[in-house]
Structure 1
Amino acid sequence: MTDRSVHRLHPAMREDIGDLITQRPLPGPHIEQLDPFLFLNHHGPQTYPPHNRGLPFGPHPHRGFETVTFILEGELAHRDNAGHESIIGAGGVQWMTAGRGIVHAEVSPRAFLERGGPVEILQLWLNLPSRLKMSEPAYTGLQRADIPELSLDGGKVALDLIAGEYEGKSGPVRSLTGVFMSTLRMRAGGTFRIDGLEDRSVFLYVARGVVQVGNHADLVSPMHLVELDETGDAVAIRAERDALVVLGHAAPIREPVVAHGPFVMTTREEITQAILDYQAGRFGAPLG
């Protein structure tokens, strides 16, 4: 086994959405995508006062990809026009397949609007290959208790297994494309190593804390995406301070990516068709 080395570190760039603190490492000035990982927004951390307006993500459409939303603090209410509805709390995850088209809203629950509180949310976009872009929409809402937790390195590392397999355990999400997705909660001094990464794109984002990746000289501070070299089949991570890391890997799709707002397709013509289909109501009934 050969460990991958760090190619480049990408800091999240500040790009607030209204009064929601938002930082984005992907895409960034020096990286467009980590095929098939397309986009990551880091919202918060911040504290909303009582009688607030909540999150600004009212009804909007998507087509051609999947969203994975990590609720680190607070609560998130999901509702879509395929009939899915949930309120997911801290430590939970929402996994939505937009497929051929869905309209959804991700907002703060009514109780949060009244009382306020802390908010920290990550949203990651996963591309779908052209053969799956018109799949049926789907949604899975997972509370923290629904996600298997593996205790590693003498209890210094907790791996929350969302999708894929690790040490004989399976995550509750069955990805259409075999994506592995997890979060690592690491105590200072804890180490984690994962292999089997040959011909896989690795997504590694440090949400909190400080880690060292492999033998890279520079430590990775919070809100940095780690871009790894493509050679090697393993990754080693050591926590210098208590850390929260999002770790995923997937087979690259290697197809053109044409994105326009909430649509991700492979050609400009498909984007035009997505807009026409949405305007004509072919994404389903409006979400009031």
Structure 2
Amino acid sequence: VHDEFHSRDFAKKGGEFEMVQLWVNLPAKHKMTKPRYQSLDKKDFPIVRLQDGTTKVKIIAGNYGSSFSPAKTFTKINIYEVEGHQNSEVKLNFDDGTNTLILQLAGSSFIGDQHLDKGYLGIFSRSGVSINLKTTEDSKILILNGEPIEEPLEAYGPFVMNTREELMDAFRDFQEGNMGSLAE
């Protein structure tokens, strides 16, 4: 059990707030691992500036070339935030057999002849992917890539397990307080 909130300063002053929350499935052997929290600040994530000098790739998880994120993961995943000005070009290559998603957070861009507007989610096949991305205006793009786990999946609410029985056990553990509690 955990609690999420913005800073007290933000609560007092207000302002713009943007958040993307990602839930990542774990392999069965790690599902009952003791929970851990990673406190990472904006400054902790490496940023790679591409050759054009204006396009930036922030490495949230995994690696981009020889730069690595400090985030610890259970499986091989890459999460990037790409920011580029109008007419920026980015080429990304991902391993064969991996899943890749692209979420256009702001602006618009093209992948080949496919136009991506704000809010568009692109899903790529597992046959390895080379993505040539070209922005048509100032853009922010979230790119998610990872190896598929290839295990059964049962999910409901905040719980993701491999079988219906495990899912029911998780609910029972939660209801009995075995997953912790929030401090008042």
* TM-score, scaled to structure 2: 0.93
Unaligned 5+ runs, structure 2: none
In the alignment, which of 148, 166, 182 is matched to residue 80 of structure 2? 182
CA distance in 1, matches of 2:183, 2:159: 18
- Alignment partner of 2:11: what SS? helix
Residue correspondence of structure 1 range 90-101 to structure 2 within 5 A:
none
**2:25 paired residue number:** 127
CA distance in 1, matches of 2:18, 2:145: 23
Matching of residue 254 in structure 1 with residue 150 in structure 2: yes
Q: Give the letter for the 1:231 counterpart.
A: S
Matching of residue 265 in structure 1 with residue 157 in structure 2: no
CA distance in 1, matches of 2:39, 2:84: 24
Report if aligned partners of 2:94, 2:145 keep a CA contact under 8 Å in 1.
Answer: no
> Cα offset for 1:114?
2.4
- Alignment partner of 2:2: what SS? strand
CA distance in 1, matches of 2:25, 2:164: 16
CA distance in 2, matches of 1:139, 1:210: 34
Q: What value does the CA root-mean-square deviation take over the aligned residues?
A: 1.5
What CA deviation, in whole Å up to 9, does each residue of 1:257-278 have, x standing for no partner?
2111111111111111111111
> Cα offset for 1:141?
2.2
What CA deviation, in whole Å up to 9, does each residue of 1:174-231 have, x standing for no partner?
2110111111011111111111321110121110010101x23x41000111012333
Percent of matched pairs sharing the same residue? 28
Matching of residue 278 in structure 1 with residue 167 in structure 2: no
Q: Give the letter for the 2:16 counterpart.
A: P
Residue correspondence of structure 1 range 1-288 to structure 2 within 5 A:
103-213=1-111, 215-216=112-113, 218-288=114-184
CA distance in 2, matches of 1:277, 1:110: 32
Higher relative contact order (CA 8 A, sep 6+): 1
Q: Give the letter for the 1:110 counterpart.
A: R
- Alignment partner of 1:184: what SS? strand
C-alpha change, 1:162 and 1:134, in structure 2 (3 Å) is same
Report if aligned partners of 1:163, 1:181 keep a CA contact under 8 Å in 2.
Answer: yes
C-alpha change, 1:110 and 1:165, in structure 2 (3 Å) is closer
Unaligned 5+ runs, structure 1: 1-102
What CA deviation, in whole Å up to 9, does each residue of 1:98-143 have, x standing for no partner?
xxxxx11112322322222212211111111111111121111222
Report if aligned partners of 2:2, 2:182 keep a CA contact under 8 Å in 1.
Answer: no
Q: Which runs of 4+ in 1 moved over 6 A?
A: none
Report if aligned partners of 2:106, 2:119 keep a CA contact under 8 Å in 1.
Answer: yes
- Alignment partner of 1:175: what SS? coil
What CA deviation, in whole Å up to 9, does each residue of 1:61-81 have, x standing for no partner?
xxxxxxxxxxxxxxxxxxxxx
CA distance in 1, matches of 2:129, 2:7: 42
Report if aligned partners of 2:94, 2:128 keep a CA contact under 8 Å in 1.
Answer: no
- Alignment partner of 2:166: what SS? helix
